[in-house]
């Protein structure tokens, strides 16, 4: 009885602790997105399969600076891109070997701006002296005493919160700084009114032990830092998460949210060479987080010089636990750089929908190449991958069972059903789909909580969509929209017509 009591107490304590973590953000919200790769938002499918799409590489968009520039020899984008009004702002790491010892010199924090995400300008900020001149794009950092300082920043994660009542904290930055080498050590927080003049938290280092992050989000009122860290070093690099509610008081404890490396067991062959490098860079889409992570793959020979590291793809609904929609899928392949660079990639907190396209910025990992004077790495550099807007994956028709004369009449059309969503005033439903036409239609219906068809939104009143597009509006009979519903609903989408195999659904949007 005593053992049972102890076990129950431990269980209840665990449940209570878990309950304190922020839950799913349902309302208020600007938009709910239902992606095919998100099996929480679209939990039920029939006659369908998911296909993911790798990004199309568009080459270098931020090259090395000149011989006197702080990024004259190396650029790495374990950094951030943020849209502020009509301008894109980038924080990245630059090095110039005229002043920096390779192993111990600082990766300096450089700044660039753009109006289209392709052509970037490195403005003369006139803040920091470098090689005798202030005409450079270095941001200014101060230490706790207010003195300018150069910090060896291994990653640069920036958030913009324009509604923060403290103007001096509207830009927030978390930096991985290197201590005694090796290992990498400590996380430090900085604040800024404009993104270029930064002051440190008085509590630095806010995380004291080894952590190497690439993702930072505020999700449902809590900050989440995504990294690999020393807390799980015995099982290798894994995706781990820290939380904070004020950006300065962070948990030293972390959660293991996703791993690729396993020991051999009776049911698993074991693979100690597959790891998650730097956690995942995160794109907050409101009701779901999309993550790109480094698919670290140890080579058989040659050490890190032969490392192959594409970018993998994960999703999360609580910013703590992550999963791969398709295991080991390369959302940005390691090979195929247009300049022939080394196929080891760096993910960045750098995602944006621009017009009809999705942009993701990244870089190549070039540290070991430059240490060995290998010019094939071209200094890392910032690169761009693109997709048609939000078309990272789609559902296509796929049946497992074979048709017979007996089964054909009873087989249901391909379809999927979403989780419950609560429509808000002004909400409409939009579909991102391709392959539609008179003989390849989408039939869209609304169901209640108990999966019952809602009159006026189903059956003969169902909406039919025959036009492909990135954001096609759905209207039911009489021009009705979703906001007429006052209770939670599910959305059912059916692939209809003699050519339904052509249909590809990439996303549904509930919003304005």
The answer on 418 and 337 residing in a single domain is no
pLDDT of residue 267: 54
Closest among 380, 292, 286, 297 to 54, alpha carbons compared: 292
**In-domain check, residue 10:** no
Contact 504, 433 (CB under 8 A): yes
- 379 Ramachandran zone, left/alpha/beta (phi>0; psi -120 to 50): left
**In-domain check, residue 80:** yes
**In-domain check, residue 90:** yes
The answer on 179 and 148 residing in a single domain is yes
Residues 42-60 as b/e (b if ≥16 CB within 10 A, e otherwise) read beebebbebebebbebeeb
pTM (two decimals): 0.89
The answer on 168 and 191 residing in a single domain is yes
Give the integer Cα–Cα distance in Å for 454 and 476: 12
Contact 47, 396 (CB under 8 A): no
pLDDT of residue 153: 83
pLDDT of residue 18: 32
pLDDT of residue 287: 92
Query: Which helix (DSSP H) or strand (DSSP E) does residue 256 occupy?
Result: strand 255-258
CATH assignment of the domain containing 120? 2.115.10.20
Query: Which helix (DSSP H) or strand (DSSP E) does residue 2 occupy?
Result: helix 2-19
User: Which tens digits make up the pLDDT trace of 393-424?
Assistant: 999 999 877 766 666 667 789 999 999 999 88
The answer on 207 and 173 residing in a single domain is yes
CATH assignment of the domain containing 434? 2.60.120
**In-domain check, residue 5:** no
What is the greatest pairwise CA distance in the chain?
Answer: 84
pLDDT of residue 30: 79
Q: Which domain holds residue 195?
A: 56-390
pLDDT of residue 42: 97
The tokens describing 406, both together, are: 């007996």
The answer on 120 and 43 residing in a single domain is no
Give the integer Cα–Cα distance in Å for 339 and 374: 14
**In-domain check, residue 17:** no
**In-domain check, residue 3:** no
**In-domain check, residue 18:** no
The answer on 147 and 77 residing in a single domain is yes
User: In the chain, which residues have pLDDT < 70?
Assistant: 1-29, 100-106, 150, 179-185, 263-272, 298-306, 366-379, 403-409
pLDDT of residue 270: 53
The answer on 436 and 336 residing in a single domain is no
The answer on 304 and 425 residing in a single domain is no
Which among 390, 418, 440 is the end of a domain?
390
The answer on 357 and 275 residing in a single domain is yes
pLDDT of residue 304: 55
Query: Strand pairing of 322-323 and 345-346?
Result: unpaired
Q: What is the distance between the terminal CA atoms of the chain, rounded to a whole angstrom?
A: 57
The answer on 31 and 164 residing in a single domain is no
Angle, CA 410 vertex, CA 405 and CA 414 arms, to 5°: 110
Half-sphere exposure for 381 (CA within 13 Å, toward CB): 23
The answer on 263 and 231 residing in a single domain is yes
Which among 345, 373, 390 is the end of a domain?
390
The answer on 353 and 228 residing in a single domain is yes
Quote the number of domains for the chain: 2
Give the integer Cα–Cα distance in Å for 228 and 240: 5
pLDDT of residue 272: 56
Which among 390, 421, 455 is the end of a domain?
390
């Amino acid at each position: 009885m005593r053992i049972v009591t102890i076990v129950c107490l431990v269980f209840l304590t665990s449940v209570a602790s878990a309950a304190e973590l922020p839950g799913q953000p349902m309302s208020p919200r600007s938009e709910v997105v239902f992606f095919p790769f998100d099996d929480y938002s679209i939990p039920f499918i029939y006659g369908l399969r998911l296909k993911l799409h790798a990004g199309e590489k568009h080459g270098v968009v931020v090259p090395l600076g000149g011989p006197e520039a702080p990024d004259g020899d190396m650029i790495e984008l374990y950094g951030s891109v943020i849209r502020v009004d009509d301008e894109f702002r980038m924080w990245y790491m630059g090095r110039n070997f005229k002043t920096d010892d390779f192993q111990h010199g600082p990766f300096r924090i450089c700044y660039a701006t753009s109006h289209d995400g392709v052509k970037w300008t490195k403005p003369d900020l006139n803040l920091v002296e470098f090689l005798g001149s202030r005409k450079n794009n270095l941001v200014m950092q101060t230490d706790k005493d207010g003195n300018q300082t150069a910090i060896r920043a291994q990653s640069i994660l920036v958030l913009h919160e324009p509604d923060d009542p403290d103007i001096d904290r509207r830009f927030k930055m978390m930096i991985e700084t290197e201590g005694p080498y090796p290992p990498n050590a400590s996380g430090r927080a900085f604040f800024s009114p404009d993104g270029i003049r930064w002051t440190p938290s008085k509590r630095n280092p806010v995380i004291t032990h080894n952590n190497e992050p690439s993702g930072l989000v505020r999700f449902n009122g809590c900050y989440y830092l995504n990294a690999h860290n020393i807390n799980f070093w015995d099982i290798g690099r894994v995706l781990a998460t820290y939380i904070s509610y004020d950006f300065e008081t962070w948990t030293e404890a972390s959660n293991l949210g996703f791993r690729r490396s396993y020991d051999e067991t009776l049911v698993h062959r074991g693979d100690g060479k597959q790891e998650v490098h730097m956690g995942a860079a995160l794109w907050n889409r409101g009701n779901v987080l999309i993550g790109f992570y480094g698919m670290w793959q140890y080579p058989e020979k040659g050490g890190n010089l032969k490392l192959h590291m594409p970018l993998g793809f994960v999703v999360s609904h609580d910013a703590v636990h992550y999963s791969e929609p398709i295991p080991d899928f390369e959302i940005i392949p390691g090979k195929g750089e247009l300049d022939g660079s080394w196929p080891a990639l760096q993910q960045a907190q750098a995602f944006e929908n621009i017009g009809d396209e999705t942009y993701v910025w990244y870089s190549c990992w070039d540290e070991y190449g430059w240490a060995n004077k290998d010019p094939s790495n071209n200094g890392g550099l910032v690169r761009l991958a693109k997709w048609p807007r939000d078309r990272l994956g789609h559902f296509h028709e796929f049946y497992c069972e074979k048709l017979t004369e007996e089964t054909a009449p009873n087989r249901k059309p391909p379809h999927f059903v979403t989780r419950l969503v609560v429509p808000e005033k002004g909400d409409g439903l939009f579909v991102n789909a391709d392959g539609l036409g008179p003989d390849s239609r989408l039939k869209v219906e609304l169901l209640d909580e108990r999966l019952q068809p809602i009159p006026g939104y189903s059956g003969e009143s169902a909406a039919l969509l025959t036009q492909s597009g990135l954001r096609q509006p759905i209207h039911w009979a009489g021009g009705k929209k979703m906001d007429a519903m006052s209770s939670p609903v599910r959305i059912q989408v059916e692939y209809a017509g003699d050519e339904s195999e052509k249909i590809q659904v990439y996303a549904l949007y509930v919003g304005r």
